[in-house]
């Protein structure tokens, strides 16, 4: 039996680790004592292991990380500092406008980068806003279009709706 001596980059002290690449060039999501954090390729903590879960994280940890504590979601920066406090049942990442779609008690709304409400959580679902400031929103299993204040531009009457193209046309299904 021939053995192969390989260098150890990170000491085996973690209960679990995810998202490690074969070159060891990116950061790693790790679990220790039932909490998740992020270490660099040398095992140095970038984000301490205090979270119940980490999602949507950039493997280079150059942007934000979606984190869960006690069944609530928030967003931290690459150093683990809170950007959005963990008070939401679900949330998406920041969009190109610096806003976040958030879910509270089965309804979706929109907050700004500081956590201030732009649209109260009254919709069954809200999709990302386009460059024209419109988003598809769902209410009572019907889809329509809202503006960034949550005002209906096209009332929810469609069974399915898609975003508008450059010519101002959107594909919808209505029955």
Q: What angle do CA 161, 162, 167 make, to 5 degrees?
A: 125
2 pLDDT higher than 90: no
Predicted local confidence at residue 1, as pLDDT: 61
Helix (H/G/I), strand (E/B), else coil: 53 = strand
Distance from C-alpha of 76 to C-alpha of 81, rounded to nearest angstrom: 5
Q: Are 110 and 120 in contact (CB under 8 A)?
A: no
Place of tokens 């998202």: 19
In this predicted model, which residue has the larger pLDDT, 12 or 111? 111
| 38 in Cβ contact with 46 (< 8 Å) | yes
Task: Return the closest-CA partner of residue 127 out of 104, 151, 110, 152.
Answer: 110
Local structure of residue 15 (DSSP, 8 states): S
For 173, list phi and psi in degrees, rounded to 5.
-120, 125
41/3 Cα distance (integer angstroms): 24
Q: What is the pLDDT of residue 88?
A: 97
What would the pLDDT profile of 122-169 be if each residue is shown by its tens digit?
999 999 899 888 999 999 999 999 999 999 999 999 999 999 988 889
Residue 110: CB atoms within 10 A of its CB come to 25
């Amino acid at each position: 039996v021939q053995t192969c001596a390989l260098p150890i980059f990170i000491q085996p002290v973690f209960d679990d680790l995810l998202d490690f690449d074969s070159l060891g060039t990116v950061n790693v999501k790790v679990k220790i004592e039932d909490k998740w954090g992020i270490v660099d390729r040398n095992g140095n903590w970038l984000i301490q292991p205090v979270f119940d879960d980490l999602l949507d994280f950039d493997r280079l940890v150059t942007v934000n990380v979606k984190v869960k504590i006690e069944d609530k979601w928030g967003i931290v920066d690459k150093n683990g500092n809170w950007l959005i406090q963990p008070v939401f049942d679900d949330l998406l990442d920041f969009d190109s406008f610096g806003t976040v779609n958030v879910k509270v008690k089965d309804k979706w709304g929109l907050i700004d980068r500081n956590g201030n409400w732009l649209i109260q959580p009254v919709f069954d679902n809200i999709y990302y806003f386009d460059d024209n400031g419109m988003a598809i929103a769902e209410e009572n299993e019907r889809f329509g279009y809202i503006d960034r204040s949550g005002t209906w531009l096209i009332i929810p009457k469609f069974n399915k709706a898609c975003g508008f193209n450059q010519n101002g046309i959107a594909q919808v299904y209505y029955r």
